[in-house]
Amino acid sequence: MQDMLVRLLDLPDISGEEKNLFEKDGIVFKRPITPEKSIVVDWVAKHFSKNWADEAAAAFTSLPVNCYIAQREQEILGFACFESTAKNFFGPTGVVSTERGKNIGKVLLVKSLLALKEMGYAYAIIGGVGPISYYEQTVDAKIIDKSEKSIYQNLLKQSK
């Protein structure tokens, strides 16, 4: 897995997708607050991994929280963290399988990258990328040469 670099000055406008998801499906995108920490962290562990749950927990050490979630009523549908494991890093992120293909991940990604831009960054690193083509198409991210050796290379892994 490699890291990717994304220019934060040229991010796509996701306002239409966000509005459509709210009006059509009642999906709200927000930064969770401290009383929601255990709910979010437990959800990430259940649907993805304990390692990602640890990163989500770390996102709650900043105020505002360095994470966005997508929710429909009392149900979390997806999440995206940023600057939770390393400065200027995006990730982890995920959307439950039943909700994929609706642009939820795109909205979470761009909102998180915009937050990094607001923090003063001009570029951001997407760490340990799985779907390279998705990030290339969505935010014009580029592979960082020789990034196979990253902050995650000797990661102790926990199972679900």
* Residue 106 CA from chain centroid, whole number: 9
Q: Sign (positive/negative) of CA torsion 80, 108, 144, 97?
A: positive
Question: Would the pLDDT of 160 be above 60?
Answer: no
- Integer Cα distance of 160 and 146 in angstroms: 30
Token pair, residue 139, equals 């935010």
In tens, the pLDDT along 110-138 reads 999 999 999 999 999 999 888 899 999 99
Q: Give strand ranges (E) for the chain.
A: 2-7, 27-30, 67-72, 75-82, 89-95, 123-129, 142-143
pLDDT at 154: 72
Q: Give residue 5's pLDDT band: very low, low, confident or very high (50, 70, 90).
A: very high
What pLDDT does 53 receive? 97
Question: Which pLDDT value is given to residue 118?
Answer: 98
Strands in 75-82's sheet, in edge-to-edge order, are 27-30, 67-72, 75-82, 89-95, 123-129, 2-7, 142-143
What are the pLDDT digits (tens) for 59-99?
999 999 999 999 999 999 999 999 999 999 999 999 999 99
Answering whether pTM is above 0.85, one says: yes
Distance CA 4, CA 155 (A): 19
Q: Are 8 and 128 in contact (CB under 8 A)?
A: no
pLDDT over 90, % of the chain = 86
